[in-house]
Amino acid sequence: MQSDETDHFRLSGDIALVTGASRGIGQAIAFALAKAGAHVVLNARDPGQLEASRSELAAQGLSVSAIAFDVTDPSAVAAAVAEIVERHGGLDIAVGNAGQSLRKPVGQFDRAEISRLMDVNLGAALVLAQAVAPVMEARGGGRILLTGSMLGQIARPNNALYSATKAGLAGLARALAVDLGPRGIRCNVVAPGAVRTAMTETAALDPAVDAFVKQRTPLGRWATPQDVAAAALFLVSPASAFVTGQVLFVDGGMSAQA
């Protein structure tokens, strides 16, 4: 008997790590993966915010735990992965969602700002892949998902550094797909457009910004974190078993038009 197609989106028995999971898109991805049957380890730097997020998801009957560490610290990442393996027996899914934005004219970025944003948004993704790949290989394979952005494909004023880091994630995912594919590990990018979260709420309440987003987006609305999470679930589930090295835009068509 053939399995139900919904089984292709089940993650029963999987262990997943989601960085930047204390709020917004990261928390929504963690919820979606846990709802699909995975045990999800939430990560953020702030232990207080992290525990609040863990408690919120656990209260809904989901299997979650938490571990605080800085994604830019290779030793901390390696220690966290080792702890996850010790506690749960392995790691099947790693979602590199932690990131930062810094808007200013291109000539005003100083060297420290450049290094910091490159480290958080791009370098940390490679550090995560380095840490999880041997563990995933020992399990017979795994899935790495990186949170990119529509702004890695198109440009907006005062976002040169952020756009560069997110474009870099697309290249990194392709490289990881080639390098890690023979070891049974897939790597993809989910690239949101304009997403309405607590961080963007002020902008969304500005009538001019709201009108611009809705006019510029063929589907005529902001994305929700759940829109992004649904795409993320697809990319780490058996439903995408032959998909690797790809960028999936969740932007309502904004990047498709001139």
Average pLDDT over residues 11-40: 97
Q: Which helix (H) or strand (E) holds 192?
A: strand 185-192
Does residue 5 carry a pLDDT above 70?
Answer: no
Burial class (CB in 10 A: 0-12, 13-18, 19+), 111: exposed
- Asked if residue 257 has pLDDT above 90, the reply is no
Residue 133 lies in a domain: yes
Q: Tokens 């995560």: give the residue.
A: 128
pLDDT digits (tens, 9 = 90+) for 171-186: 999 999 999 999 999 9
**pLDDT (average), residues 223-247:** 98
Distance between CA atoms of 185 and 94, rounded to whole angstroms? 11
In this structure, are residues 222 and 194 in contact, taking their beta carbons and an 8 Å threshold? yes
Least confident interval from 4-13, 108-117, 144-153, 214-223: 4-13
Q: What is the domain extent for residue 227? A: 10-250
Q: In this structure, is residue 232 part of a structural domain?
A: yes
- 59 pLDDT exceeds 90? yes
Dist. CA 97–CA 146, nearest whole Å: 6
- Total domains in the chain come to 1
Q: What is the structure's pLDDT at 55?
A: 95
DSSP states of 22-62? SSHHHHHHHHHHHHTT-EEEE--S-HHHHHHHHHHHHTTT-
Burial class for 68, CB neighbours closer than 10 Å (0-12, 13-18, 19+): middle
Neighbouring C-beta atoms of residue 206, cutoff 10 Å: 11
Distance CA 142, CA 236 (A): 9
* Range with the poorest average pLDDT among 172-181, 197-206, 233-242: 197-206
pLDDT at 2: 47
Chain segment 65-96, per-residue pLDDT in tens: 999 999 999 999 999 999 999 999 999 999 99
CATH no. for residue 150?
Answer: 3.40.50.720
> Which has the closest alpha carbon to 19: 114, 83, 72, 95?
95
Does residue 257 lie in a domain region?
no
**Tens digit of each residue's pLDDT (9 = 90 or more) over 142-159:** 999 999 999 999 988 999
Q: Is residue 63 part of a domain?
A: yes
Beta bridge partners of 41: 17, 65
- Nearest residue to 222 (alpha-carbon basis) of 250, 195, 191, 199: 195
Please report whether residue 116 resides in a domain. yes
Task: Dig out the tokens for 34 from the structure.
Answer: 């846990």
Average predicted confidence (pLDDT) for the chain: 94
Given a cut of 60, whether residue 1 has pLDDT beyond it is no
Q: What is the pLDDT of residue 217?
A: 96
Torsion-angle region of residue 146: left (phi > 0), alpha (psi -120 to 50) or beta?
A: beta
By annotation, the residues acting in catalysis are 162
CA–CA distance, 67 with 83 (Å, rounded to integer): 9
Please indicate, yes or no, if residue 5 is contained in any of the structural domains. no
CB atoms within 10 A of CB 2: 5
* Mean pLDDT computed over 117-131: 97
In a domain, 91, yes or no: yes
Predicted pLDDT at 228? 98
Q: Both tokens of residue 195? A: 């997403």
CA 145 to chain centre: 6
Query: What integer pLDDT is reported at residue 258 of this predicted model?
Result: 67
Query: Would you say residue 143 lies in a domain?
Result: yes
- Do the beta carbons of residue 247 and residue 193 sit within 8 Å? no
